[in-house]
Amino acid sequence: MLLSKFGEKFTSHSGILSLMDDLGNALAGNDQMIMMGGGNPAHIPEVDALFRQRLQRILDSQSEFTRLVGTYDPPGGEQTFCRELAAMLRRRFGWKLTERNICLTQGSQTAFFMLFNILGGEAANGHNRRIQLPLAPEYIGYSDCGIGEDLFTAEKPDIEEIDAHTFKYHVNFDALNVNEDTAALCVSRPTNPTGNVLTDQEIEQLDGLAKDNDIPLIIDGAYGLPFPELIFTEATPHWDEHVILCLSLSKLGLPALRTGIVIASEQIISAVSAMNAITSLAPNSVGPLMTLDMVRDDSIMTMSRDIIKPWYEDRMQFACQEFKRELGDLPWAMHKPEGAMFLWLWFKGLPITSLELYERLKERGVLVVSGHYFFPGIKEEWQHQHECLRVTYTRDRDTVRRGIAIIAEEVRKAYASD
């Protein structure tokens, strides 16, 4: 079958597809597998209970039920939800926006696909414009989104060594080359895979760069602010006309409802809504209707702060303690865990690659993710890319403890074999 270039690109084995396949196959082949690889949110009983109550109220009302399943929304998504969300953001943060600054998509992943291709790629002036990732490691889900080739550029970070076993990445502003072929800047905050949270000062500086160059700053808040607030450090929510803030209902516990939220200038919102119309007529209504009441009374924020964030923070602290105990004085370090649901480990001078370590761990029944996937846009070889692992810590304590003990054993063996 002769495929188009587009068809070839999107059906060949992309990084994210092979990663998802590998995780899926490993799991299917061994039901004892300790899953420390995925990005599924946890099922927190209090949060589940709130969503069940809301669903029951919808089911009890014929008109709400019809609204839930029986009506196409406009291409920008459920308008009452967009209006109430705009009101909440004005009330809580004083942002100057209305529902015309908000649209919904089928998950935020779809929003990135649309935004990257609306902004990046071959422009009307013939230039190939790129999405600049100011700091890699960055989310693997971006890397295959370009309809054309070579959509991303990225910079290596500055590495702050906080103590013998803790470090933090910072944007290396001296290396950032924003020019006429830069279509937009994009950062995830908190970052998947590292749990890094860019500081308010870094965000301000990136915001200034975007404004000065008349390009958007895309902030991926899938784990961030103002919800689900998987953030364990000081950070202020940020939005302005030239910022495109992408949020999601997934990490609140609703990934199957596929609801992404784009908050941007009216021009960007019209563009994304137009793409919604072409690709799917309209986004689904279930996510926005399930959370409408919570946006009306701000409880989406209080639930995030009072229930979801402490739940993840507690798991994070437990996993950190276990790693410290198990890895002892090996030459390892952990990115300061400031947010999201992962720990990012760096094994300095590891005699095997992180991919080999991943394979050995899979053999031992522990699934993690090799760090080398998370450097989209970094073109030159960099040893650091092969020395890191992403570990998800959301499982129960006993499972996490067992998984970490096996990781430590394999790492110790790898260093000993040098």
SS (H, E, C) 220-286: ECCCCCCCCCCECCCCCCCCCCCEEEEEECHHHCCHHHCEEEEECCHHHHHHHHHHHHHHHCCCCCH
Cβ 415 to ligand PLP shortest distance, Å: 30
For ligand PLP, the binding residues in 236-255 under the rule CB under 6 A are 248, 250, 255
Residue in the structure block whose two tokens are 């649309």? 114
Return the residue of 141, 195, 226, 237 that touches ligand PLP, per CB under 6 A.
141
Helix and strand element counts for the chain (H, E): 13, 16
Q: Mask: binding to ligand PLP, 210-229, rule CB under 6 A, as x and -?
A: ----------x-x-------
186 versus 327: smaller Cβ distance to ligand PLP: 186
Distances in Å between the alpha carbon of 156 and those of 188, 333, 376?
15, 18, 11
Site string for ligand PLP, 171-200 (x = CB under 6 A): -----------------x---x--------
Is 139 a binder of ligand PLP (CB under 6 A)? yes
The number of residues that bind ligand PLP (CB under 6 A) is 14
Q: Please say which residue, 229 or 326, places its beta carbon nearer to ligand PLP.
A: 229
User: 3-class SS at 130?
Assistant: strand
**CA pair distance 345, 196, nearest whole angstrom:** 12
Residue 131: which residues within 8 A CB-CB, separation 6 or more?
116, 119, 120, 142, 151, 152, 153, 183, 184, 185, 186, 218
Binding to ligand PLP (CB under 6 A) within 366-405 occurs at none
| Closest CB to ligand PLP among residues 27, 330 | 27
The window from 104-112, 321-329, 380-388, 391-399 that contacts ligand PLP (CB under 6 A) reads: 104-112
Pick the closer one to ligand PLP by CB: 108 or 273: 108
Is 262 a binder of ligand PLP (CB under 6 A)? no
Residue selected from 34, 37, 39, 183 as contacting ligand PLP according to rule CB under 6 A: 39
Quickly count: other Cβ atoms within 10 Å of residue 378's Cβ: 19
Among 37, 76, 107, 228, binds ligand PLP (CB under 6 A): 107
List, in sequence order, every residue forming a beta bridge with 345; answer none if it has no partner: 334, 389
Find the binding residues for ligand PLP in span 278-297 (CB under 6 A). none
